[in-house]
Each structure stands twice: as structure tokens, then as C-alpha cells.
Amino acid sequence: MVGERKQLLLRLDPGVHDALTRWAADDLRSVNAQIEFLLRQALAKSGRLPGDVGEPRRRGRPPKSPSDGD
């Protein structure tokens, strides 16, 4: 299904998490978005990113739907 996101439990060393949190804040991303960004970047660099992978989610609020009254 398009848009369905997989959930993953990830255990990190506290120092790694702190560094990742600071990096994500510098890039105006959530920690989750930063992890996905880095994983996509690594997969693309190694030639392992499948061609059917959807685009990353856009930053910011989702667009208003026509049914929202605007």
C-alpha cells in the first residue's frame, strides 16, 4: 500500500543518539527523518536503493485537502 510506513525498534548508544539529535536539529528534521535520510543516502551511494522506493516525505505540514474548506 502506498504511504504505509514500517515501524522499527532501534536501540542506540546514548552518545550516538545525542549526536544524531543535534544533527537532526541542525538540519531542521526529526530524529526519525534524519535516520531515514541517512539510510536512503547510504543505500543510494552503495547502489542498493531499489528503484521502486517512494520519494521521502516532504518537510513541513501536509498540504490541505480540498475537503478542508479552503
Q: Supply the pTM of this predicted model.
A: 0.73
Angle between helices 31-45 and 14-26 (to 10 degrees): 90
Task: Confirm whether 35 is domain-assigned.
Answer: yes
Task: Confirm whether 20 is domain-assigned.
Answer: yes
Q: pLDDT by residue (tens digit) across 9-58?
A: 999 999 999 999 999 999 999 999 999 999 999 999 999 999 888 777 77
Residue 45: per-residue pLDDT: 95
Task: Confirm whether 6 is domain-assigned.
Answer: no
Q: Range of 31's domain?
A: 12-49
